[in-house]
Amino acid sequence: MRKLATFIVGKRKLIMILFALAAVLSIFTSGLVKVNSDIYSFLPESTETRQALGVMDGEFTTFSTAKVMVRDIGYSDALALYQDIKNVDGIKSVSFDDSSLHYANNCAMYSVTFGGGDNDEVSLNALDDIERILSGYTVYYDTQVGYDLSVQIVSEMAVVGIISVVIVIALLLLTSRSYAEVPVLLATFAAAALLQFGTNFLFKQISHISNAVTLILQLALAIDYAVILCNRFAEEKQHSEPRQAMIDALTKGIPEISSSSLTTIGGLIAMAFMQFGLGSDLGRVLIKSILLSMLSVFLLMPGLLLTFNKAIDKTRHRSLIPHIDFAGRFAWKTRKIIPPIFAVVLVVCGYFALNYPLLYNYSDAMPLNLNDRQLAREEVNKVFGYNNMMAIVVPTGDYQAEADMLAEVSKLDHVTSVQGIACTEVIDGYKLTDKLTIDEFCKIAELDEMTASALFAYYGASHNDYKQVGSDLHNYKVRLIDLFLFLYEVAEDGDVEVSADKLSMIEDLYSQLSDAKKQLQGPNYSRMLVYCDTDVQSQQSYDLIDQIHEIADKYYDGNVYVAGDATCSRDLEQTYTRDNVMVSLLSVIFVVVVVLLTFRSAGLPVLLITVIQGSIWINFTWPYVNGDQIFFVGYLIVTAIQMGANIDYAIVVSNRYITLRQNNSKRASITAALNGALPTLITSGSILAIAGLLIGFLSTEATISNIGIALGRGTFISLLLVVFVLPQLLLWGDKFIKKTTFAKVIHFRVPPIFEDDFDEVARKRTADKS
């Protein structure tokens, strides 16, 4: 380690140049990463939702839609607006009538289908035109047209980042020993952050959540590494010249920082084993950020500290961190009271946390800070309710099977309506997939018999039905949808002459039929829609999915999918059961192993895990009592990060206590341990807690907001338990720790500020005895 430290210090100028070049290169490579904002794409490939989405993406065209709600409007005025909206260029269709689906409580709701995707110019222009038409009304637009989630999140995180940096600077000025140390710490972090963004392209794509929160969490988790090395350097300078002091500081600091990061990395590694890919995505990105932060501290920071050494010496100041002797006195007086109380709290909160009702329907997840689109969705749902829609995807080609299947499905309890090509009524009771004779087609198409006969004969010849056409043309039957599409083709080619008004009607009908086929019928699969009145995340919805499968299996031999929010909710709930056990178990195992190797004690990990697991359960008891729900992935991610990162605070206090306990009383040791650990707790813990809460309150993405709030709240709870519960457990379990220590413990040297605190405690005790 000393050879490595000597090499780093000797090559510090070259290393600083290389970091500068890497930072510049990272600015360009940061644009190479693909950010994936489709949360469903992270589902396991074995889930029905993932398979169904894969089929639908390749088979069907999905046009953008919008629910446009106008408040305080009479029905006649709403009907007039409907005509205006229907005539807007770029709109495929608009649904509006006097039913409760579209008009209720003096509110009109227009279901609009655009002619393109969410960010296509045709959709954007059409939405602009609708906004102009409705400019004088109170309107709510529930749509994804023109809304880029990634851009929204990046802008929000920029604000969070700026506020976080200001808070970090204030905390560093409070806890540092020299004002000039602050720019060194910030420069080190800035380099690590640039390298983090610049190397994300190695993963080909990352989630929008990882892209948003990694920088803030990296700042909160990794700033402690830089503070440790900075303090080490200050200590070694007291008895060595700067260059040698840096070599000594690195020699001792590299193992200390590496071991400190292992618990955090262990918690993140646990996330990599999640079936739901969002957890492993965030885990690997955060692990990379921590490793790059350590490299920046080990390689870049020594050169910066030596470069700014004179400025650091000139701007030294007295520590502004107050002593907390009262916490030590409180711990001593309550050492026999707090442990049993905490045990009861642990049991109660454990029950609440383990029975916490999680949210699996992503569409229902809402952040604290709602944007305009989310507010509009809430208002529309309040008035018209939420439509629970399911899509049935079956092999195409058998219209009769589709019709019979949909007829059965429509009779199921809670099914309000069904939609599909096979059951779409055109006119006079005829459906698109009905087979018609010449006479029947003449009535609905308003064609003369000669033109219709010619069309049927031409169709039969084009489809090699010569025998049927030649023997009995008038009884020859062709599906209505096929006839209309064929009529359009021959009319456009001039093979069949029709009047101008008939041609206009045929063109309009062709456009509607073509759009319907694009959305509902592909080369290999057909899609049918089922609307029901059940809650998405409910056993009724899950039972309905099974009933639909049971009916579909009678008509199709496999390859049937039921997709929708309800199916996705069930898939996510099933993956959670495994992921929760896996993340919780692996997080504890990793942390226990690290603590076991650090302290050579089997008893101490039990106490530390108890405190942090208690903080996790208390954390999720809070929303249980308030009746709040969070998206389940937020629960898993926060559990892993809180166990991995917050355990460091408990390790800091425990390590100091055990070091001093070798030669001093329990009371003096715990008081001095708390005073010595306070700067680390304030710096690292406060940054993580504040950064998390900022993310939670400012982000309009539900999962990011949930993670931020829960992580910030959980970190504050962990800090409180480490200061006001862990000391009592250490005092209460003092003999237990000693008896379960199986080897000589290697402790880090106590910093001068800590030694001063202990000396002050020792002097007070001597004075008291006198």
pLDDT at 445 over 50: yes
User: Mean pLDDT over all residues of the chain?
Assistant: 84
- Measured CA to CA, the distance from residue 712 to residue 696 in angstroms comes to 8
Residue 296 buriedness (CB in 10 A; 0-12 / 13-18 / 19+)? buried
453 — pLDDT class (breaks 50, 70, 90):
confident
The pLDDT value recorded for residue 757 is: 43
The pLDDT value recorded for residue 230 is: 84
Residues 6+ apart with CB under 8 A from 513: 432, 481, 484, 485
Percent of the chain at pLDDT above 90? 25
Residue pair 236/249 in contact (Cβ under 8 Å)? The answer is yes
Judged by average pLDDT, the poorest of 2-6, 181-185, 478-482 is 478-482
Residue pair 230/181 in contact (Cβ under 8 Å)? The answer is yes
Residues 324, 325, 329, 335, Cα dihedral to 10°: 50
pLDDT at 766 over 70: no
Angle between helices 121-133 and 75-86 in degrees, nearest 10: 150
Q: Residue 741 carries which side chain, given as an amino acid letter? A: T
- Judged by DSSP in three states, 143 sits in strand
pLDDT at 55 over 80: yes
82 — pLDDT class (breaks 50, 70, 90):
very high
How do residues 581-601 score in pLDDT, each as one tens digit?
888 888 888 888 887 877 788
The pLDDT value recorded for residue 754 is: 40
Angle between helices 242-271 and 632-661 in degrees, nearest 10: 140
Tokens at 476, concatenated: 């020859």
244 — pLDDT class (breaks 50, 70, 90):
very high
547 — pLDDT class (breaks 50, 70, 90):
very high
* Pairing verdict, β 103-104 and 205-207: unpaired
- Which DSSP string corresponds to 702-764? HHHHHHHHHHHHHHHHHHHHHHHTHHHHHHHTHHHHHHTB-S----PPPPHHHHHHHHHHHHH
- Judged by DSSP in three states, 537 sits in coil
Tokens at 237, concatenated: 């300078």
Residue pair 652/231 in contact (Cβ under 8 Å)? The answer is no
In the DSSP assignment, the letter for residue 72 is: S
Tokens at 428, concatenated: 């006079």
Burial 270-284 (b: 16+ CB within 10 A, else e): bbbebbbbbbbbbbb
Q: How far is CA 377 from CA 67, 110, 126, 140, 531, in A?
A: 8, 13, 20, 8, 18
Tokens at 576, concatenated: 């959670």
pTM of the model: 0.80
Tokens 């690590």: give the residue. Answer: 192
How do residues 334-349 score in pLDDT, each as one tens digit?
999 999 999 999 999 9
Higher pLDDT, 677 or 13: 13
- Measured CA to CA, the distance from residue 692 to residue 713 in angstroms comes to 8
The pLDDT value recorded for residue 750 is: 41
When pLDDT is averaged across residues 264-293 and rounded to a whole number, the result is 87
pLDDT at 147 over 60: yes
Q: Which long-range contacts (CB under 8 A, 24 or more apart) does 408-416 make?
A: 408/551, 409/530, 409/548, 409/551, 412/544, 412/547, 412/548, 412/551, 413/544, 414/532, 414/533, 414/534, 414/540, 414/544, 415/530, 415/531, 415/532, 415/544, 416/531, 416/532, 416/533
- Measured CA to CA, the distance from residue 572 to residue 628 in angstroms comes to 19
Q: What is the CB-side half-sphere exposure of residue 148 using CA atoms within 13 A?
A: 8
What is the SS3 string spanning 667-704?
Answer: HHHHHHHHHHHHHHHHHHHHHHHHHHHHHHHHCCCHHH
Residue pair 78/103 in contact (Cβ under 8 Å)? The answer is yes
The pLDDT value recorded for residue 720 is: 92
In the DSSP assignment, the letter for residue 329 is: H
The pLDDT value recorded for residue 75 is: 92
Tokens 């290389």: give the residue. Answer: 18
The pLDDT value recorded for residue 67 is: 92
Residue 355 buriedness (CB in 10 A; 0-12 / 13-18 / 19+)? exposed
749 — pLDDT class (breaks 50, 70, 90):
very low
Tokens at 224, concatenated: 């402690």
- Measured CA to CA, the distance from residue 658 to residue 333 in angstroms comes to 19
Residue pair 71/106 in contact (Cβ under 8 Å)? The answer is yes
Cβ-based neighbour number of residue 605 at 10 Å: 23
- Measured CA to CA, the distance from residue 130 to residue 82 in angstroms comes to 10
Q: How far is CA 214 from CA 37, 155, 209, in A?
A: 15, 15, 8
What is the phi/psi pair of residue 74, to 5°?
-75, 160
pLDDT at 715 over 70: yes
- Measured CA to CA, the distance from residue 292 to residue 193 in angstroms comes to 8
Q: Residue 238 carries which side chain, given as an amino acid letter? A: Q
pLDDT at 424 over 80: no
- Measured CA to CA, the distance from residue 573 to residue 632 in angstroms comes to 8
